[in-house]
Structure 1
Amino acid sequence: MSSSGDIDKARFAPSYVLEAFSKCGVRLASKTPVKTASLILDEYEKTILKMREELEDHEVPHPEIDIRMVWQKLLRQLNEAALIEKPTMDDVSRLAIYFETLSNPVYPMPDMHEVVHSIYKRGMPMGIISNAQFYTPIIMNFFLTGLISDFEDVEYFDRYLSIYSYKEKRGKPDIALYKKAAGRCFKHHQVSPEQILYVGNDMLKDIYPAKSMGMTTALFAGDCRSLRLREQLPELKKVKPDYLINRLDQILEIIQ
């Protein structure tokens, strides 16, 4: 699944703000809605930057925020300016989801469903390390089951091995996320790092930290939209994935 929850990858436009507000039933009382939406976008990006800077002050190298807190602050400001009625937390969550799906559309890769089912049936534990937001499990569950729910756990994946950046307040490539996942793998399944196959699409945020932890790595290069080679980075000059795949079903060949 391409870049779900990674707010750095989104592409923003005032029309997305207006459509998201409309879908949520939040009326924007402005005579110049497009201009107001542009101002909302500016404040949205400034708020994200400020919240991350506050986390950096606490020595978090790759800080991550909960996007609901951003929208909650923005909606409160709009309410104080008499541009919208007093919002509820449901408004905040729904607005965040609609804006995400409009500005950063995601889709499942071919064979995802079949590969996940096959690994699950083999009794192999699966986990997730993701630059994610609260809606990432919602989207994943929809792709895997066809159902829409607000469960925080992704079907077929071990909840103890699922590490989400918005919960940890730190994002990839922070090695702390990988240490936590590796520790839980050993604690709950007696699986050591070299026995873990880590699949990712980003050389810096996925392959580099996973290899630093001693994990076996596979770079997924089957989606040009999400593939990040970052060949210009000096720290990646000597970093090579153990496997290079362009189809998800190749994972099944690796774990035979």
Structure 2
Amino acid sequence: MPEVENLSRAVLDNRHPLLPIATEIEPRLTQLPGVRAVIFDVYGTLVVSGSGDVGSADESEPTDQIGDAMAAIGEPRPSAKAGVLESKLREIIKQTNQSRLNEQCPKPEVDIVAIWRVLLNEIGLTDLANNTKKVVRLAAEFESRANPTWPMPFAIELLEQIGRSDLALGIVSNAQEFTLSLVADLQDATNVEKDLGRIGFDLNLCHFSNRYRQSKPGPRMFDALSDGLKRLSIHPNETIYVGNDMLNDIYAATQAGLRTAWFVGDARSCRPRSDDPRCQDLQADIVTTDLMQLLSCLAIS
């Protein structure tokens, strides 16, 4: 494991192996001639996500994950009953997103560190709220418990093989600050900003929702991706986007003119979205149950 020198390394330190759960969806593979760029989602695609996506903890039963996270950073456990603060955190996120919803921002994204500051101030922990380093650590400790992750089988090998080809490589993902540590870990990198380029990613093609304060399936990140592709003289139709969510990934990428690969290799994060009218008649160019299937479709050996 790399020496990730940041305050978010709890998402790595607290991990344990997670195997994907097979779906009943059959692969649908075909050759994809003319592809010059491959863009990936992170959660549910490059990494197994215990809850299915960033910031989407299981709400089925009360837990004291916030108390555990507080203890992990050396702070006293809050006196609230298990589950109360977790519910309050979700409500702050919901209200913050609703307050920013408009035509220019159809799918807002929060800055999770700012959200934690609001929560800590509301429960009277003002000094902690003003300690940025501890708030970042707290957010990462909580995320590592609410949404445990592990590299998706063959993700590392897939990125290595694409990185050795002449294809451009990028990421468009709903994300928070700690997501970058997961990406860096896939290729044993020590600093994601410096090493994404070293391991084959084009930084002009890497876009994370927390930096735009807008998330998928909104168009903001894909607009930025299109600008990056244009600088490389790559047409959207020469680009394939790989993701697990028919709405956030396949629909959004299709709207941007990209070709698409729906990854259905893990039941936790496989999102058909069959009840959404935007997805009912939507088909990806290929459907993969194993990340390495993408290589044969791209004729990479």
State the TM-score, normalizing by the size of structure 1.
Answer: 0.87
How many equivalent pairs are there? Answer: 247
Change (3 A) 1:76 1:171: same
Corresponding residue for residue 156 of structure 2: 113
Aligned partners of 2:183 and 2:192 also within 8 Å:
no
Query: Residues 55-204 of structure 1 correspond to what in structure 2 (within 5 A)?
Result: 55-57=100-102, 59-80=104-125, 87-145=130-188, 149=191, 151=193, 154=196, 155-187=199-231, 189-204=232-247
Which residue of 47, 50, 54 maps to 1:6?
54
Partner Cα distance (1:180, 1:223) in 2: 28
- Partner deviation per Cα, 1:182-232 (whole Å, 9 max, x = no partner): 221121x21100110111101111111211222111110111111100112
Q: Which letter does structure 1 place at the counterpart of 2:76?
A: R
Corresponding residue for residue 47 of structure 1: 92
Change (3 A) 1:167 1:201: same
My pick for the range that moved more, 149-158 or 219-228, is 149-158
Q: Which letter does structure 2 place at the counterpart of 1:179?
A: D
Which residue of 271, 279, 286 maps to 1:243?
286
Aligned partners of 1:14 and 1:34 also within 8 Å:
no
Give the percent of matched residue pairs that are identical in Structure 1 and Structure 2. Answer: 28
Uncovered stretches (5+) of structure 2, i.e. residues with no partner: 1-46
Q: Give the CA RMSD over aligned residues.
A: 2.3
Aligned partners of 1:219 and 1:244 also within 8 Å:
yes
Change (3 A) 1:106 1:85: closer
Larger RCO (CA under 8 A, 6+ residues apart): 2
Q: Which has the larger share of helix?
A: 1
Using the TM superposition, give the Cα deviation of residue 148 of structure 1 relative to its aligned residue in structure 2, in angstroms.
5.8
Aligned partners of 1:202 and 1:228 also within 8 Å:
yes
Using the TM superposition, give the Cα deviation of residue 60 of structure 1 relative to its aligned residue in structure 2, in angstroms.
1.3
SS at match of 1:235: coil
Partner Cα distance (2:115, 2:236) in 1: 36
Aligned partners of 1:193 and 1:213 also within 8 Å:
yes
Change (3 A) 1:156 1:99: farther
- Partner deviation per Cα, 1:28-58 (whole Å, 9 max, x = no partner): 3x5xx351x5332232122111211121157
Change (3 A) 1:150 1:75: farther
Partner Cα distance (2:219, 2:228) in 1: 14
Change (3 A) 1:80 1:110: closer
Which residue of 23, 26, 46 maps to 2:75?
26
Q: Which has the larger share of strand?
A: 2
My pick for the range that moved more, 242-251 or 171-180, is 171-180
Q: Which letter does structure 1 place at the counterpart of 2:74?
A: G
